[in-house]
Chain A
């Protein structure tokens, strides 16, 4: 762990490395390298002519990653052997596997190719056919290129037919290009079903047949084209799984390098200091990598100073209590624990720590101290205690005036519902609370990726525990609502307080008094 230097206020400065590692071999990686020109950059998979700030590693690949944000140590492997690099941040920008959109059923032909090849072919005469937006991605990958090429060809008096199912024009300026193409005489023809479209090679030309379902009687049309340019679709590359494993980041259900969680959009991953951009995080317009790269440059700009201020307090591990069971490392969503296997010690890196307190909740030895309001003591007769995630339920409750029946609620904010530990709930019940409600984020919306799932598991275990003690398991309940759903949150809480007819049962105090 870097040695902190105390500042005047409440916090400490940590020395950080300002270098950035960029991994990737396509235009998104080039966008990242160009946006990060204020930083020293290591570029693994370099394709373009690097600038003076770049150290290019064209033939190496990443073998191992150690350390955390601010000071990653990355091992590269190549023909010349292995070497270690140190960097403060990492940008993952691998390219997708692109194929011709299969929904158009094109024949194998040198005349039927992807729109990205259109600019490189010398097209002398038409008619030329463009095919776009037939597949699932609505022309994400090719709309920009296809429309621009159509304009170029039409401006040179080449006859252009543009078939499409959906025209994705939401990228800035694209609708204007579309209108320009129409003005220049490009014929736009909407296809309702790509299977009604057939292309076959006939003596040096392409024969294009299609039925127009929008016209009465669905008549068939046919034209002879010199070239057919079709849109592309992209799938996560074969190296995506390996990269995710090496850098310990989550992937989404399609295999892109970012879990499907709004807290991370657009460029973050679950691991602080590891960023992803452009199409590597999901289907994207070609220009989106530029905006993402600029956003990443914003995230890494504070590292240019060489030191980062971290506000007090941050979580610390008490080495006297730690049994080196590594539960904290297993559950930490940010991979913020520095594990020294030889010395059998763990430490929390304050630059990588997100402050969720999940580690404190799972530590069986209570070796991780989290300073928070949940340790408050007091009597709670007749109260309903709400342990509320301060990113969701707590904010929902604060955003509206609460009705009179809510006077029995006592809100205790937690940094994340996953922070909850059994002791907190049992203590609240022992102090006389009628009900304990745990308010978590909705599925896949947790600020810390896994906190809401952890809270759900803990509540389930607590219910069993209460049942085995002879208490009503219904006295602990989990609710899920977003910060911007106050009405929903209030409705869920009201339902619990009104009860399911079985009543809350004995309070903890009554139970204790009996035994």
Chain B
């Protein structure tokens, strides 16, 4: 019998697995994908002339350590479908998937003393918000798509066209929106969109970037990252208020209609690329496909915690965004908290 099964190998699951393995416990690290790393594995470095402290560069080294760790067994292409037994001796059924995430019919049972649930989050699908035309208009994309284009190949211009002069970011797509989305603040979007804007400014000299936002949220170290970092950039323009509509008619370009509340006027402006920042929502692969875990959820659908890192069921612990929206440092902190609880629980 091994000691711990970690469900999900994103930044939280990987941090928890590494700390547990370093403490001498045997760890199974399970993920439905081929490679561990989760969403954060394809987040780009957003540094221009200096580091913007996004923390995404921590992921590859944690992965590198885990792949060489004698106490860790990585189980890619796997899905936990059932959980039997009692706290201290769980039996988890694990089924193998293929690259298309289809069930291959093979099943094994893992016997473990405790479980870490680190199933992460999903991003809100902006398609139902028809006013933004996501999925209909070319170059209306999500921030995750931009992140992946900044990370790798092909280059930005190959993905979204040569002529990227006017770029817009729209915050709170589905967040802080009790009517048509989710009522809570997603916590991470102000931070990453400010950093993406700074990155685009240095990668595309001369491009004009507009950030549509509701409230500048707090993130990063030191006072007021948003104002401090964006205040002195002439090519980045924060605009308070969220746009009402994006359309391509009559002019054949992305036209954004928004209210300039400082001037009290409705404006229409052309853009070459519009980046939507969707809400962080409970993972569909989490609560719905693991009913056997029997964990309670909060009013927003995230797993409910009794204390930091402790789920509603004895022997099952929570790490990272499956408990609520978190940035990378907060996910790591949450994973470390779960590790502390497990070490004391098993002692």
Contact = CB atoms under 8 A, between A and B. Distances in A.
B65 to A, nearest CB: 10
A485 B184 contact: no
A254 B221 CA distance: 10
B60 to A, nearest CB: 4
A456 interface: no
A195 B266 CA distance: 27
B59 interface: yes
Nearest to B214: A167
Given A291-B334, A294-B309, A295-B337, A301 B329 contact: no
B226 interface: yes
Given A175-B183, A291-B333, A485-B57, 13 more contacts: A35-B308, A138-B215, A140-B218, A192-B262, A213-B262, A214-B264, A262-B51, A265-B55, A267-B333, A295-B337, A296-B336, A298-B341, A299-B336
A38 interface: yes
Interface of A: 9, 35, 38, 133, 135-140, 166-170, 172-176, 179, 192, 213-216, 233, 252-254, 256, 258, 260, 262-263, 265-267, 281-283, 285, 290-292, 294-302, 304-305, 309, 390-392, 395-396, 398-400, 442-445, 447, 481-488
Given A175-B176, A175-B183, A483 B61 contact: yes
Name the residue among A213, A215, A283, A295 with the largest chain B CB count within 10 angstroms. A295
Contacts of A173: 184
A487 B340 contact: no
Contact of A283 (B55, B217, B223): B223
A175 B333 contact: no
Contacts of B50: 442-444
A169 B45 contact: no
B344 interface: yes
A213 to B, nearest CB: 7
A298 B45 contact: no
B176 A136 contact: no
Interface of B: 19, 22-24, 43-45, 47, 50-51, 53-61, 64, 70, 151-153, 155, 176, 178, 183-185, 187, 190, 215-224, 226-228, 261-262, 264, 307-309, 324-325, 328-330, 332-341, 343-344, 347
A392 B47 CA distance: 13
Nearest to A233: B223
A85 B332 CA distance: 31
Given A252-B222, A256-B222, A487 B337 contact: no
A316 to B, nearest CB: 21
Contacts of A297: 337, 340
A35 B308 CA distance: 10
A138 B224 contact: yes
Contacts of A399: 60
Contacts of B44: 484-485
Contact of B215 (A169, A172, A262): A169
Nearest to B299: A176
A266 B227 contact: no
For the complex of A and B, 8 pairs with smallest distance between CB atoms: A298-B340, A294-B337, A298-B336, A294-B308, A485-B45, A265-B329, A295-B333, A483-B60
A392 B184 CA distance: 36
A489 B240 CA distance: 37
Contacts of A172: 184, 324-325
A265 B55 CA distance: 8
Contact of B51 (A35, A176, A215, A445): A445
Nearest to B186: A170
Given A176-B183, A484-B43, A266 B333 contact: yes
Contact of B216 (A166, A444, A488): A166
Where chain B touches its partner, the secondary structure class is: loop
Given A266-B330, A304-B343, A166 B215 contact: yes
Given A169-B215, A298-B337, A487 B155 contact: yes
23 contacts: A38-B344, A137-B224, A138-B215, A168-B215, A169-B215, A173-B184, A176-B183, A262-B329, A263-B58, A265-B328, A267-B333, A291-B330, A291-B337, A294-B340, A297-B340, A298-B338, A304-B344, A399-B60, A400-B152, A400-B153, A443-B51, A447-B61, A483-B60
A183 to B, nearest CB: 11
Contacts of A482: 45, 47, 57
Name the residue among B57, B60, B224, B226 with the largest chain A CB count within 10 angstroms. B57
Nearest to A267: B333
Name the residue among B22, B223, B334, B335 with the largest chain A CB count within 10 angstroms. B223
Contacts of B228: 136
Name the residue among A166, A216, A396 with the largest chain B CB count within 10 angstroms. A166
Contacts of A168: 215-218
B226 A138 contact: yes
B222 A391 contact: no
A447 to B, nearest CB: 8
Nearest to B228: A136
A409 to B, nearest CB: 18
A481 B261 contact: no
B222 A260 contact: yes
A170 B185 contact: yes
Contacts of B217: 138, 166, 168-170
Contacts of B221: 252, 256, 258, 260, 265, 281-282
A293 B158 CA distance: 46
Contacts of A170: 185, 187, 190, 217-219
B261 A214 contact: yes
B223 A136 contact: yes
A398 B336 CA distance: 28
A132 B43 CA distance: 34
Name the residue among B185, B219, B324 with the largest chain A CB count within 10 angstroms. B185
A392 B332 CA distance: 19
B75 to A, nearest CB: 21
Contacts of B308: 35, 290-291, 294
Contacts of B183: 175-176, 179
Name the residue among A170, A172, A395, A399 with the largest chain B CB count within 10 angstroms. A170
Given A136-B224, A166-B216, A176-B183, A487 B55 contact: no
A213 B263 CA distance: 8
